[in-house]
Amino acid sequence: MIPKKLKALLLGIFLLCPSFYSAYSQDQSPGKIGVQLSIVVEGFYEGTIRSTLTNKLRSFNDVSLVESGGVYKLSIMGMELKTKGGQVTGIVFSTIVLSPDSPSFYEIMLSSMGDLNDEQKSFLNKYFSNRYIYENSWMHVGSYDNITAICEEIINTFDADYLEPIRKSIK
């Protein structure tokens, strides 16, 4: 189990980090589950990690990678594990799943405030729309030899825990 303070720290890093990988189509395709994918990783295996995660999500016929919105935001951060002497011993992945706030705090605020001018709506939209709710997080630790397997396990866990229930509810 991940301590609450570590969860809060990791969530803050993902939400505030300006650098993320965009592997999206422009629009969510009709009949597909929109997923916003954010990947923060550096190092020798960066390309392998990005392509494995993206390709695994794209392999699901009913999933569309989107730039914004979507049913979930999947944030993945990869970091090298090093000894005190600086020797790289492996890699750790932190995964956070977020879902849009629905009904959104922004919509509730707008409906309770009555008539607002465009400037006021713009201000509220800037600071209170596109909010997400924390769903879950988990970590994977392993050697560089297992990077592909770890990436696939991350997406398989996301699929089983989040996408599959949506599929079942649609049928």
- Alpha carbon 127 to its chain's center: 20
User: Is 126 a member of any domain?
Assistant: no
Q: What's residue 72's pLDDT?
A: 93
User: Is 158 a member of any domain?
Assistant: yes
User: Is 108 a member of any domain?
Assistant: no
In terms of residue numbers, what domain contains 85?
Answer: 4-101+132-170
Q: What tokens does 117 get?
A: 């001018």
pTM value is 0.71
Average pLDDT (49-67) is 94
Q: What's residue 21's pLDDT?
A: 33
User: Is 32 a member of any domain?
Assistant: yes
Instruction: Give ∠ CA 167-168-170 in degrees, rounded to 5.
Output: 65
List, for residues 29-38, the tens digit of each pLDDT value. Answer: 667 899 999 9
SS3 at position 128: helix
Q: Who has greater pLDDT, 3 or 128?
A: 128
Place of tokens 């650098």: 19
- The pLDDT-based confidence of 85 (bands split at 50, 70, 90) is very high
Q: What's residue 25's pLDDT?
A: 38
User: Is 140 a member of any domain?
Assistant: yes
Element (H, E) at 142: strand 132-142
CATH number at 40 reads 3.40.50
Q: What tokens does 153 get?
A: 């396990």
Cα 115 to Cα 5, 107, 161, distances in angstroms: 40, 13, 41
User: Is 25 a member of any domain?
Assistant: yes
Q: What residues are paired with 32 via a beta bridge?
A: none
Q: What's residue 88's pLDDT?
A: 86
The domain total for the chain is 1
User: Is 91 a member of any domain?
Assistant: yes
Q: What's residue 46's pLDDT?
A: 86
Least confident of 37-51, 67-81, 84-98, 111-125: 111-125
User: Is 121 a member of any domain?
Assistant: no
List, for residues 1-49, the tens digit of each pLDDT value. Answer: 555 544 444 444 444 443 333 333 334 466 789 999 999 997 778 889 9
Asked whether the predicted pLDDT for residue 130 surpasses 50, the reply is: yes
Average pLDDT (149-155) is 96
Mean pLDDT: which of 8-12, 127-131, 139-143 is highest?
Answer: 139-143
Q: What residues are paired with 78 via a beta bridge?
A: 41, 93
CB-count exposure of residue 170 (10 Å: 0-12, 13-18, 19+): exposed
Q: Dihedral of CA 14/19/23/26: which sign?
A: positive
